[in-house]
Amino acid sequence: MVFIIKLKLLVSFLILIVIISSVAMAKEAVNVVEECKLVGSGNKNEIVKSFDKDYKTFYKTGKNKNNGIICTMPEGKLCSGVYIKFIYKATDWCLQVKNGKDEWQTVTSSSKGYISDFLPLDNVKEFRIHAPNRKEYQLNIIELEIFDQGEIPAYVQRWKPPLEKSDILLVHAHSDDEHVFMGGVLPYYAGELGKKVQTMVLVPSTDYRKHEYLDGLWHSGVKNYPLYGGFPDAFSYKLKDMYKAWNEETLIGRVVGAIRRTKPDVVVTHDIKGEYGHGGHQACADAVINAISKSNKPKYYIKSYKEYGGWEISKLYIHLYEENKIKMDFNKPLSKFNGKTALTMAKEAFKLHTSQQKISYFPTDEGPYSIEDYGLYYSSVGDDVLKNDMLENIK
């Protein structure tokens, strides 16, 4: 009897240890950048700009052999990862630690060329953020977060490359259009259903708006890095005037390239009339319509055909299109977002575009620009019957 009691106590003790260990392992890592000692190769008085939570300021490292930032963690804490947001694409940066010969040695690096990137570290006390190819560029750091031990928070963007095969490609003109006019698509299909959703934005806009764009996408459940059209910001109420700013053939060609590259079953884009009449929205829709008829033909835009091959989409949905209407329900609770609706998530994502909060438009399921209203412009898989699912009839 005594042996059985002792055995039960031992089992209980072991279970308790497992529980305590699990809780400890589940601890979320904390951003301790403000507690760290940071020594940068640029202007020492400006290094605070790298963690001031302002997308309009940045810290520029110097072009010398120590190009980067040396970080010493606060007492009793070790680093498990570094999260950086750059102004320009950082095609070559790394994290280094000292080896036995007191020399800096690279332990992890990135060549993705993203403006938002994360690299893990194996719990180190001191490390260096370094740009080894110092003759080509400096590191221009908008925001820097340094995490102690624990699980990296969900908001930290760990982007995957653009998709090679997507379920949905959403093509829009400006960063914030994806929430204001087509807001429920991303949280519902990418976040809730886990579908492969790719975005393409035509106007790259300012540095700070690029980061607002990434923040909104990530918040909506999109995990694949967006495609950029590279067109200048311009405005007109007339399509022909818009094509003076955005060359028509160039625009169609880049949309064709995006379709061939990501091979979507479904494409979603702006209202043909540009919602409130914006020429950029009109041009976006017009280019998509022209692109879907050319994306599978080798004689058009030969360069992207050679690189990616041809592709024929199955369906095209246009916001507010009057024919073959469908009505999405973006007011259903979503389990992946703790019961919030797709409309709520669209509103939250739009709020991350902090520079755009004074504009007159916002995500809504009411009025003339409802994010729930679309029309099936093209289909090679038959008409919609349910009329509430963009992936209806897609196998």
Q: pLDDT, tens digit, for every residue of 343-363?
A: 999 999 999 999 999 999 999
User: Are 142 and 57 contacting, i.e. CB atoms less than 8 angstroms apart?
Assistant: yes
Q: Which three-class secondary structure state does DSSP give residue 327?
A: strand
The predicted-structure confidence for 255-294, as pLDDT tens digits, reads as follows: 999 999 999 999 999 999 999 999 999 999 999 999 999 9
- Look at the alpha carbons of 233, 235, 239, 243 in this order and tell me if their dihedral is positive or negative: negative
Residue 63 scores a pLDDT above 50: yes
* Burial of residue 329 (number of CB atoms within 10 Å: 0-12, 13-18, 19+): middle
> How far is Cα 59 from Cα 45, in angstroms, rounded to an integer?
10
> How far is Cα 123 from Cα 7, in angstroms, rounded to an integer?
37
For the domain bounded by 166-379, which CATH number is listed? 3.40.50.10320
Outline which parts of the chain fall under CATH 3.40.50.10320.
166-379
Mean pLDDT of the chain: 93
Return the pLDDT at 4: 52
Outline which parts of the chain fall under CATH 2.60.120.260.
33-147
Residue 49: CA count within 13 A, CB half-sphere? 20
Q: Which CATH class is domain 33-147?
A: mainly beta
The predicted-structure confidence for 71-118, as pLDDT tens digits, reads as follows: 999 999 999 999 999 998 888 899 999 998 999 999 999 988 999 999
Q: How many CB atoms lie within 10 A of CB 97?
A: 18
Write the CA distances from 296 to 17, 196, 227, 305, 310, integer angstroms.
Answer: 60, 21, 20, 8, 4
User: Are 138 and 67 contacting, i.e. CB atoms less than 8 angstroms apart?
Assistant: yes
Residue 10 scores a pLDDT above 90: no
User: Confidence class of residue 232 from pLDDT cuts 50, 70 and 90?
Assistant: very high
